Amino acid sequence: MAYDDAAAENRKRYAIIGVSSMLLVAMVVAVTVGVNLNQDGTSDPATGKKAHEISSSMKAIKAICRPTDYKRECVDSLKGSGKSDPKELVQVGFKAAMKLIQAAAKKSLTLRQIEKDPRASQALAGCKELMDFSVDELKFSIQKLGAFDISKLDEMLIDIKIWLSAVITYQETCLDGFANSTGDASEKMKKALKISMRLSSNGLAMVTELSSMLTELQIPGINRRLLSIPVLGHEDYPEWAGPGMQRLLAGSPAKRKPNIVVAKDGSGQYKTIQEAINKVPKRKNNATFVIHIKQGVYKEYVVIGKKLTHLMLIGDGPKKTIISGNKNFVDGTTTFKTATVAVSAEHFMARDIGFENTAGPHKHQAVALRVQADKVVFFNCEMHGYQDTLYVHTMRQFYRDCTISGTIDFVFGDAAAVFQNCSFLVRKPLPNQQNIVTAHGRKERRQPSALIIQNSKFKPDADLVPVKKQFRSYLGRPWKEYSRTIIMESYIDDIIEPEGWLPWEGDWGLRTCFYTEFNNYGPGSGKSKRVKWRGIKSITAQHAVDFTPGRFILGDRWIKATGIPYVSGMTKPNAGVAN
């Protein structure tokens, strides 16, 4: 027995050494950690063996680049450094990725100065902003993970997956902004981003490989179940949703004591929402800052920047407090910039507010709400528009008791977004148009993102009801190659066509997407006539649990404490088999 214990302890020690080593060499573009892998002494400068040092360096580089899809770019970014110490190699790789992204941002500014096409010029401005977001995510990774802790390795890897996924999405969004623009700015930016996008992909591949390795090693103290689920998130759970916030959520408007009150009639400190947001002070802790927005229609464009973490907006009801805009693609604004409200601050929360874009169906893409922030919650909110109403851009998002309306791709983006007990209202489109509820934008197979719709309803809006037989409506279509959408425990009205899903163009993404329906009900939920693409999947009850908010986005760690209604797992655990 003692021998077995000693052997097990040795296996554990060697496994941890191996895991630490893999971690150091894997995160080329995301993090640096303070563990030294160099246990054979071959890179000791005291040896003076230059050739041996080079050989050792290349051996380490090849090990780093092994699981990547773009091995040549990986090797090229590291070779010539003369380094064989893994920590130093990681630093070299990180700097290479940062340099390329910053160069792309600078390129966008240079091109904008000479660009004559207004649409392309606007796209270039968007690229600069998106590259800044990318750099921020990588810098945040360095800051958070600089102090390496093997006991938190699983959570660390989950964090990195979402940060790198966001970096990939931001670069892809930059290129998407050139749709219908003239000139060669699009090709020049594509060229400028080519290597940085590949290095971002490589970094995600490395972290995914490490997660798989940890799952197989069965190391005590490492949460294998956590690593094996395609989740994401921050380990640093703050006390941002304490008793005080829960009282705010539960209390009536008259009893709430927010930090700032906004009122159109002048009864608050400010008359506009953006003015109030601009006055939010810098805080030294994670205490939630609450802004109460009294009833009224606020015709303004609201930007909640990345630095305004732990901010909460409370309205008087989604039909009483409404933020309204009408920017749109037809009038010359890129989709990314059409948003009436844009949220980039993590730990953001909104309740009892309506968000709308009134541009109408003839103006094509017109976003009411764009969200690219981690750990955000929307409770009892409404988002209304037509095409591209809700842009769930990146990171973790949770929507509870919300109503979203639109026509074409009216819930789209590459976030890991869960909708629980929400209503999706399909509106009347233009003649000869068809309705599509979702369009997920997962570009890479390793990205830990998906649209998950649970215990919700797909129904026609009032304007569609009288003419619903004149228009065809679908659950979704694959915007990007690895689009992933899961609909479960939900009511599907007969407005949804028997085929269920619609191709984007030809056979694009039909083999690589991941679409599944589980335990749905209603006249439109039957699956016997659904499309037979390779990407249409059937899942077991056990697999369905992996897509619940408690598991997929680790919701128990940050949603539960807000006090809003929330179900961690399946909402109908005793329901029968799927349709």
SS3 sequence of 65-129: HCCCCCHHHHHHHHCCCCCCCHHHHHHHHHHHHHHHHHHHHHHHHHHHHHCCCHHHHHHHHHHHH
Q: Measured between alpha carbons, how far is 309 from 424 in angstroms, rounded to an integer?
A: 29
User: Is residue 223 helix, strand or coil?
Assistant: coil
HEC string for 117-168? CHHHHHHHHHHHHHHHHHHHHHHHHHHHHCCCCHHHHHHHHHHHHHHHHHHH
CB-CB contact of 306 with 129 (8 Å): no
Catalytic residue among 176, 374, 409, 414, which? 409
CA 78 from chain center: how many Å?
29
Which H helix or E strand runs over 488?
A: strand 484-488
Cα 92 from chain centroid? Answer: 27
Instruction: Count Cβ atoms within 10 A of the Cβ of residue 281 and give its class: 0-12 exposed, 13-18 middle, 19 or more buried.
Output: exposed
Residue 409 a catalytic site member: yes
Buried-state track 541-563, b at ≥16 Cβ within 10 A, e below 16: eeebbbbbbbbbbbbeebbebbb
Q: Both tokens of residue 124?
A: 């270039």
Please tell me the distance from the alpha carbon of residue 31 to that of residue 163, in angstroms, as a whole number.
Answer: 11
Both tokens of 123, joined, read 């796209």
Q: Is residue 59 within 8 Å of 65, Cβ to Cβ?
A: no
Cα–Cα distance for residue pair 419/403, rounded to 1 Å: 10
Catalytic site residues?
409
